[in-house]
Amino acid sequence: MIVNGEEGDDDLTIDDEIKTGFISSWKNTWGFITLYDENGKNSDETLFVHIDSVIHEDRHKCLRTKMEVQFKEATPKNDPKKKKAVEVCCIDGTPISFHKKNGEKDTWSRNSLSENVFRGKLKVYFKQRRYGWIAPIETISIPEKKINITQSGQIFAGIQDLDLDVDDSQLLDSILEFKIYKDKRGTGAYDVTNTGEIMKDDDPLNDGQRFLGTVAKCAVHQYVLIEPDDDLTEHGSTKKNVWCSCEDINTDARPARVLKKQKLVFNL
C-alpha cells in the first residue's frame, strides 16, 4: 500500500468526517467527485480531487469515472472557497487499484485474451496524457478470439498497466514484455515490463527500409495517417493506412505537422 501525503498539509484544515461519492469526471491527474447525501443518493455537490490525494496500491496511480470512493474534505487556510478531497480511497476503505471494481457504480470490466507473454517496442508514449502504443515484434495471433495484430499494428498501453519506469531514457529503445486484454474500448496491453534488452539494429522493427507514401490525414499534436505507394503486406501491414505519431515527424516546425496529400518517406 502506498499512501501519498498532501503537499502543504500544514496549510489545510481537514474535516474528520468520512464522506462518500463517485468520480464523476477525470482528466489524467485530476477530476471531480460527486458527493452522496445522507441517504446514499447523488447530491448536487461536487469536490475537486487530485491524484496526489489518492491512497492506492498500484505502481502508477490512476482513476476512472464511476469509481466509488470515500474521502475527507480539506479546506485551504488561505482560500476557504477552494475545498478539495483528501485521503481518497475505495468506498470500502481499502486502497484504490485501477485493476479492481471500486463500488457498485464502477463499470470496470476486462477480459484477458491469453496467458501468453508477448514482446514488443513502445513506439510512442505521451507523458502528459499517460498512455502510449506498443508495436509487437512478431504477429500476435489468437484465432479463437479473432485477434491478429501485425508488426505494423498498435496496442494501447495505459499508465495503469505499465510496471516500469516511464522516465527511463532508453524506454523507447527497449524490448517490453506484456499480455493483452480486451474491454469495451478495445484491445490493450497489461502487465507491461521492461526486459532491459535494447532493440538491435537488425530487428524487424528496425530494418531501416524506407517507403514512399501520401499523407491521408494529419491530426496536429496527435498522429498522421499515411497511404503507402506500395503493398506492405509482406512487411506485416495489412491496413490501407500506416499510423505515425506527430512526434516522429522529422521537422523543426512547431507544432510538427504535414499537409494532406503531401508526399513523404518513412520507416516501419
Residue-wise pLDDT tens digits, 134-181: 999 889 999 998 899 988 788 999 999 999 999 988 888 899 999 999
What own/partner pairs with CB < 8 Å and gap ≥ 24 does 221-229 have? Answer: 221/246, 221/255, 222/246, 224/249, 224/258, 226/264, 226/266
Q: How far apart are CA 41 and CA 23, in angstroms?
A: 14
Burial track 235-244 (b if 16+ CB lie within 10 A, e otherwise): bbbeeebbbb
- Contact yes or no for 107/66 (Cβ under 8 A): yes
Given this model, what pLDDT does residue 4 score? 44
Given this model, what pLDDT does residue 6 score? 46
pLDDT for 206 beyond 70 = no
DSSP SS3 for 253: coil
- Banded pLDDT at 2 (limits 50, 70, 90): very low
Given this model, what pLDDT does residue 263 score? 85
pLDDT for 91 beyond 90 = yes
Q: How far apart are CA 27 and CA 206, in angstroms?
A: 35
Report the phi/psi class of residue 3: left, alpha or beta, with left for phi > 0 and alpha for psi in -120 to 50. beta
- Contact yes or no for 176/193 (Cβ under 8 A): yes
Given this model, what pLDDT does residue 209 score? 62
Which CATH superfamily is 2-90 part of? Nucleic acid-binding proteins (2.40.50.140)
Would you list the domain boundaries of the chain? 2-90, 111-198, 208-267
Peptide bond into 255 cis (omega under 30): yes
- Banded pLDDT at 207 (limits 50, 70, 90): low
Q: What is the mean pLDDT of residues 93-112?
A: 93
pLDDT for 71 beyond 90 = yes
pLDDT for 9 beyond 60 = no
Given this model, what pLDDT does residue 7 score? 45
- Banded pLDDT at 17 (limits 50, 70, 90): very high
Report the phi/psi class of residue 204: left, alpha or beta, with left for phi > 0 and alpha for psi in -120 to 50. alpha
- Banded pLDDT at 53 (limits 50, 70, 90): very high
Query: DSSP readout, 80-102?
Result: TT--EEEEEEETTSSPB-TTS--
Given this model, what pLDDT does residue 3 score? 41
pLDDT for 232 beyond 80 = no
- In this predicted model, what pLDDT tens digit does every residue of 175-190 receive, in sequence order? 999 999 999 888 999 9
- Contact yes or no for 219/152 (Cβ under 8 A): no
Tell how far CA 14 is from the center of its chain.
32
* % of the chain beyond a pLDDT of 70: 91
- In this predicted model, what pLDDT tens digit does every residue of 233-248 receive, in sequence order? 766 666 788 888 888 8
State which H helix or E strand residue 193 sits in.
strand 186-198
Query: CA-CA distances (angstroms) from residue 61 to 1, 3, 99, 158, 230?
Result: 11, 11, 11, 11, 43
- Contact yes or no for 119/175 (Cβ under 8 A): yes
Architecture of the domain spanning 111-198: Beta Barrel (2.40)
Mean pLDDT estimate for the chain: 87
**What is the rounded radius of gyration, in angstroms, for the C-alpha atoms of the chain?**
22
> Do 2-90 and 111-198 agree at the fold level?
yes
Instruction: Specify the CATH class of 208-267 in words.
Output: mainly beta
pLDDT for 1 beyond 80 = no
Residue 206 in grid coordinates: 528496425
Q: Identify the residue with better confidence: 91 or 230.
A: 91
